[in-house]
């Protein structure tokens, strides 16, 4: 109970400086890539118009971290930064630079992709370029890395499945990232046309992810507050599309995760779906939820889903028994400035000081080890060398009894009480 933590970040980012992706792109797309590069300045201006870049902050960030940020694509530098942060292993999503987008994979094949907004052939080509490069990165310290396959599945399902299989054969084992938004006019994720994607991922043991990023910009305009408020919902949306429409019944080995969209909405979502499914008063007048629904929504969630909550707020950790401690995966969002790098050790001490050690071990590493198949024995020496201990997080002697009632209560709608129990420190 007192040994160092095996800390796995279920949310990191890597990507080449954009122009260097050319070497990983099929030659027939080079001309289109030149045009894409020529539009990068206009894209940067558009980002500024959307309020996505605070100039003063950007200057400070790049000034202070110029050298360290090479970790976005340099494996040795990357290991050094992970070591310093106490992180033994990582699950790698695209787009290393979330401040000024200088590491964008070709043709927008990254966090912000929306199915309706890209040209499928180019998006798949850009994704393949990134996936090829990422497979190389993951060959350095392979026990520490799981690379996520970028998979623009909307528009060309067979092409996407081919790329998923190719990238898997190439060594990528971190699952796939699909566009969180299919976009207006494209087929939603309950459509059977996507079954070959779910089938391939179930067969290959690749979890399917959405990652926060996309939102309906044409509706939100340049109102940054709208973007910040809605982006979580759009990222999480495919989760209930899969749960309610029988996808997990058809593909029992499929796993699905929502990354960097927080976990604060999870308890409410499960409560709302379960009480509807149980046909409490408000849904008695409605017809069936479908013969394919054989279990409560929260049971599908527990069996198939996880939340890459990244850097949890204390509010979210306080509500962890509703989401399920075993379903929550911590991440440092390295090297994004909204993450905890390079101060992860301090952040962990702040957030986890009164969280029971066994629960902390689950959320900080063991849950991710299980979802992504990390070899914990192979990682043990790394953890022993760099991992913070419970004492380092201030957990020795911490009073964890505050959590007794919330833990026993769990999902109150299933355990009996008619109100939740989230007990904070008394004012």
Structure tokens at 287: 């017809």
Structure tokens at 227: 């973007």
Q: Of the listed pieces 5-13, 106-114, 146-154, 419-427, which binds its own copies according to CB under 8 A?
A: 419-427
Number of residues that bind its own copies (CB under 8 A): 80
Examine residue 240 and tell whether it contacts its own copies (CB under 8 A): yes
Distance CA 288, CA 300 (A): 18
Give the Cα-Cα-Cα angle 236, 110, 91 (nearest 5 degrees): 70
Nearer to its own copies, 377 or 427 (CB): 427
Q: Of the listed pieces 10-18, 35-43, 73-81, 271-279, which binds its own copies according to CB under 8 A?
A: 271-279
Site string for its own copies, 71-100 (x = CB under 8 A): ---------------------------xx-
Site string for its own copies, 10-49 (x = CB under 8 A): --------------------------------------x-
Applying CB under 8 A, among 142, 171, 337, 394 the residue interacting with its own copies is 337
Site string for its own copies, 181-220 (x = CB under 8 A): ---x---x-x----------------------------xx
Nearer to its own copies, 38 or 427 (CB): 427
Q: Of the listed pieces 74-82, 149-157, 195-203, 284-292, which binds its own copies according to CB under 8 A?
A: 284-292
Nearer to its own copies, 163 or 322 (CB): 322
Examine residue 268 and tell whether it contacts its own copies (CB under 8 A): yes
DSSP secondary structure letter of residue 347: H
310 bridge partner residues: 330
Q: Are 127 and 155 in contact (CB under 8 A)?
A: no
Phi, psi of 244 (to 5 degrees): -75, -20
- Smallest separation (angstroms) from its own copies to the CB of 421: 4
Examine residue 64 and tell whether it contacts its own copies (CB under 8 A): no
Q: Of the listed pieces 62-70, 156-164, 201-209, 403-411, which binds its own copies according to CB under 8 A?
A: 403-411
Q: Are 21 and 96 in contact (CB under 8 A)?
A: no
Nearer to its own copies, 106 or 297 (CB): 297
Examine residue 288 and tell whether it contacts its own copies (CB under 8 A): yes
Q: Are 158 and 196 in contact (CB under 8 A)?
A: yes
Nearest to 384 by CA among 128, 28, 44, 83: 83
Q: Provide the edge-to-edge strand list for the sheet that holds 89-93.
A: 8-13, 89-93, 145-147
Q: Are 374 and 8 in contact (CB under 8 A)?
A: yes
Q: Of the listed pieces 4-12, 20-28, 264-272, 370-378, which binds its own copies according to CB under 8 A?
A: 264-272
- Smallest separation (angstroms) from its own copies to the CB of 221: 6
Examine residue 283 and tell whether it contacts its own copies (CB under 8 A): yes
Nearest to 329 by CA among 281, 293, 366: 366
Q: Of the listed pieces 157-165, 247-255, 376-384, 408-416, which binds its own copies according to CB under 8 A?
A: 408-416
Distance CA 142, CA 218 (A): 41
For residue 71, CA distances in Å to 142, 336, 374 come to 16, 11, 21
Nearest to 222 by CA among 403, 38, 50, 404: 50
């Amino acid at each position: 109970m007192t040994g160092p933590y095996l800390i796995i970040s279920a949310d990191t980012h890597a990507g080449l400086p954009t122009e260097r992706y050319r070497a990983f792109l099929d030659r027939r797309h080079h001309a289109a890539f030149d045009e894409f590069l020529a539009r990068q300045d206009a894209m940067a201006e558009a980002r500024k118009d959307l309020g996505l870049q605070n100039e003063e902050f950007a200057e400070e960030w790049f000034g202070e971290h110029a050298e360290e940020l090479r970790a976005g694509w340099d494996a040795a530098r990357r290991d050094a930064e992970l070591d310093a942060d106490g992180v033994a292993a990582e699950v790698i999503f695209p787009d290393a630079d979330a401040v000024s987008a200088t590491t964008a994979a070709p043709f927008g094949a990254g966090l912000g992709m929306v199915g309706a907004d890209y040209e499928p052939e180019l998006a798949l080509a850009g994704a393949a370029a990134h996936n090829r490069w990422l497979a190389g990165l993951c060959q350095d310290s392979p026990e520490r890395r799981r690379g996520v396959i970028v998979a623009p599945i909307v528009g060309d399902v067979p092409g996407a499945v081919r790329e998923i299989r190719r990238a898997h054969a190439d060594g990528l084992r971190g699952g796939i990232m699909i566009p969180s938004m299919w976009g207006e006019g494209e087929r939603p994720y309950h459509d059977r046309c996507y079954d070959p994607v779910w089938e391939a991922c179930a067969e290959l043991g690749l979890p399917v992810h959405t990652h926060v990023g996309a939102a309906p910009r044409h509706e939100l305009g340049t109102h940054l507050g709208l973007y910040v408020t809605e982006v979580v919902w759009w990222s999480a949306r495919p989760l209930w599309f899969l749960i309610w429409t029988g996808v997990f019944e058809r593909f029992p080995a499929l796993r699905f995760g929502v990354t960097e969209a927080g976990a604060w909405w999870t308890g409410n979502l499960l409560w709302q779906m379960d009480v509807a499914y149980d046909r409490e008063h408000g849904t008695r007048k409605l017809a069936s939820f479908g013969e394919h629904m054989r279990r409560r929504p929260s049971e599908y969630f527990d069996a198939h889903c996880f939340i890459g909550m990244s850097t949890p707020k204390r509010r979210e950790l306080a509500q962890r028994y509703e989401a399920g401690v075993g379903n929550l995966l911590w991440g440092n969002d390295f090297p994004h400035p909204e993450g905890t790098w390079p101060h992860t050790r301090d952040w962990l001490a702040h957030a986890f000081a009164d969280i029971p050690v066994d629960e902390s071990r689950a959320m900080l590493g063991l849950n991710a080890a299980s979802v992504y198949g990390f070899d914990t024995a192979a990682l043990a020496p790394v953890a022993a060398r760099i991992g913070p201990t419970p004492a380092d997080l201030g957990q020795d002697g911490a009073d964890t009894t505050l959590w007794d009632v919330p833990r026993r209560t769990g999902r109150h709608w299933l355990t009996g009480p008619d109100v939740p129990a989230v007990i904070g420190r008394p004012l």
